[in-house]
C-alpha cells in the first residue's frame, strides 16, 4: 500500500505532467521578433556555424545544454526498471542541474541494454549538447560507455556525480569557454587574412616605364 508521501509525489507529478518545460529566451511579441528568431533571420547563424563550426557555442544553447542519458538498468534503489520508468528520475536530475548549477538539460532514455546502442545514440545526438551525463546505468556498462564516449566525442562525457555543479557544470563551462576562445581566435585570423588580401600590393614597374638612367661611371666613352 502506497504511503501518504508516495501519494503526494504521484499527485505532484500528475498535476504538472512531469518536471520540465521549454521556455524561450528571446522575445516573441511581434512579427519582427519571429522573423529574427526563426525564418528568415535564423539563416544567418546557420551559415555562420557552417563557415566556422565553433561558433555553434556563440549562437545556440549548446554551450549550456546537457543530455542526461540512461537506459534504466540501475535506477536509484529500484534496479533495472527500464528506460521509460527511469524518466522521472532523469527529469529530477535535469532540475538539479538547472536549480543548483544553472545548466539546462534534457533527459534521453535509450530503450536498449546494449553498450553499443547507448554509445551510438550519444554520438548521434552530440552536436546538440555541450556535455553527456550518464545516469543510472549498471556496471560495468557505465564504465565501458563512458570510456568509448571520451575517446570518440569532442564534448565532456561522464558518469553521474553527487554534485552536478562540481562535475558536469565545470566540464562544460571549461569546454565552452575554450571553444569560444578558439572561435574568436579563428575569426580574428580570418579578419586579418581578409584585410591583407584587400590591401594594395606594392606596385611593380610596368614594361612601358622609363628605364633608370645609367650611371656616368658605366656610360660608354666617346
Q: How far apart are CA 137 and CA 114, in angstroms?
A: 11
CA pair distance 128, 147, nearest whole angstrom? 20
Which residues pair with residue 69 across a beta bridge?
108, 134
CB 9 within 8 A of CB 17: no
HSE (side-chain half, CA atoms, 13 Å) at 93? 29
Which cell numbers in the block locate residue 175? 569546454
Residues linked to residue 136 through DSSP beta bridges, in sequence order: none
Per the CB < 8 A criterion, the answer to whether 122 and 153 are in contact is: yes
What positions carry a catalytic annotation? 38, 93
Peptide bond into 141 cis (omega under 30): no
Quote the longest CA-to-CA distance of the chain. 128
User: Kind and range of the H or E element at 105?
Assistant: strand 104-109
Residue 150: alpha-carbon gap to chain centroid: 15
> How far apart are the C-alpha atoms of 74 and 139, rounded to whole Å?
8
What φ, ψ does residue 133 adopt, rounded to 5°? -105, 115
Amino acid at each position: 500500500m502506497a504511503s501518504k508521501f508516495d501519494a503526494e509525489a504521484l499527485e505532484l507529478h500528475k498535476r504538472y505532467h512531469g518536471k520540465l518545460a521549454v521556455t524561450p529566451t528571446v522575445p516573441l511579441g511581434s512579427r519582427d521578433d519571429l522573423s529574427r528568431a526563426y525564418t528568415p533571420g535564423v539563416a544567418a547563424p546557420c551559415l555562420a556555424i557552417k563557415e566556422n563550426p565553433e561558433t555553434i557555442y556563440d549562437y545556440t544553447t549548446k554551450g549550456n545544454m546537457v543530455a542526461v542519458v540512461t537506459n534504466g538498468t540501475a535506477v536509484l534503489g529500484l534496479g533495472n526498471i527500464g528506460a521509460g520508468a527511469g524518466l522521472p528520475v532523469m527529469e529530477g536530475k535535469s532540475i538539479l542541474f538547472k536549480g543548483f548549477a544553472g545548466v539546462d538539460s534534457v533527459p534521453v532514455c535509450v530503450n536498449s541494454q546494449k553498450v553499443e546502442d547507448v554509445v551510438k545514440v550519444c554520438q548521434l545526438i552530440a552536436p546538440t549538447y555541450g556535455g553527456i551525463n550518464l545516469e543510472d546505468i549498471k556496471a560495468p556498462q557505465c564504465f565501458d560507455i563512458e570510456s568509448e564516449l571520451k575517446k570518440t566525442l569532442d564534448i565532456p562525457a561522464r558518469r553521474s556525480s553527487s554534485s552536478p555543479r562540481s562535475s558536469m557544470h565545470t566540464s562544460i563551462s571549461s569546454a565552452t569557454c575554450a571553444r569560444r576562445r578558439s572561435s574568436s581566435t579563428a575569426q580574428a585570423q580570418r579578419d586579418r587574412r581578409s584585410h591583407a588580401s584587400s590591401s594594395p600590393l606594392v606596385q611593380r614597374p610596368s614594361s612601358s616605364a622609363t628605364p633608370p638612367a645609367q650611371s656616368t661611371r658605366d656610360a660608354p666613352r666617346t
